Amino acid sequence: MQDLDLGRELKRAAFPQAVLGVLSQGKSHGHASAEVLRGHGFARIKGGTLYPLLKRLEDQGCCNARLAARTGAPAGSSSHLLTAAVRSWAGPQQPGIV
């Protein structure tokens, strides 16, 4: 039997909600979202973890992706924004809470 890494499992379970929390603060591309999450205790987040989750959230109608047009965004990256339905369901956010 393999030992359970409780901290890792809790972070894995909280990851989708944490990403939605980042997006609730406004539009963000994947790299920027990963940096915010790192600042809140998530270890280095691999693209193979974050981008499939963002795609699933998009497929579920939780966020929209648009090709990033802002300066400083990596070439070919998409920015993500919560859909209006999710924003209205979540209600107003408190400043600084992710």
Every domain of the chain and the residues it spans: 7-90
Stretch 45-66: mean pLDDT: 91
Percent of the chain residues past pLDDT 70, beyond the cut: 81
CA 63/CA 41 separation, integer angstroms: 23
Q: What is the pLDDT of residues 11-41, one digit of tens each?
A: 888 899 999 999 999 999 888 999 999 998 8
What integer pLDDT is reported at residue 72 of this predicted model? 62
Angle formed by the axes of helices 6-23 and 47-59, nearest 10°: 50
7-90 folds as Arc Repressor Mutant, subunit A (1.10.10)
CA 73/CA 24 separation, integer angstroms: 19
Within a 10 A sphere around the Cβ of 81, how many other Cβ atoms?
A: 16
What integer pLDDT is reported at residue 41 of this predicted model? 85
pLDDT at residue 49 is higher than 50: yes
pLDDT at residue 4 is higher than 60: yes
What integer pLDDT is reported at residue 71 of this predicted model? 58
